[in-house]
Structure 1
Amino acid sequence: MQTIIRYELVIKALCSALMLDTPDEQINEFIRFFGKHIGCDRIYIFEDNKKNM
């Protein structure tokens, strides 16, 4: 049951984000939606630039 609730939250976040026009707005809305629903005031995104050698 918990998994279904998580999937529903992701679907709601995607729907909310896709209502906006630009990719930047969509990403910001997606992050804002999750931040609001998990009760945090900040979300950090890190990019891993390690090259495969």
Structure 2
Amino acid sequence: MSKCGKLCEVYSRVCGYFRPVANWNKGKQEEFKERRPFDVPGKTATEKPGKDAEK
């Protein structure tokens, strides 16, 4: 994959709202860089717990 070199605006969820990471304070930006993604086998990002969820 080639890189174009342009800046990309990244959004992340904060308190239920999606906000641009560039608008966060420096401390929160550093915290965001340290986050580690993970995967839960058998689940997808679109699944939400509800009354029909497995128990």
TM-score (norm 2): 0.29
* Structure with the greater alpha carbon radius of gyration: 2
TM-score (norm 1): 0.29
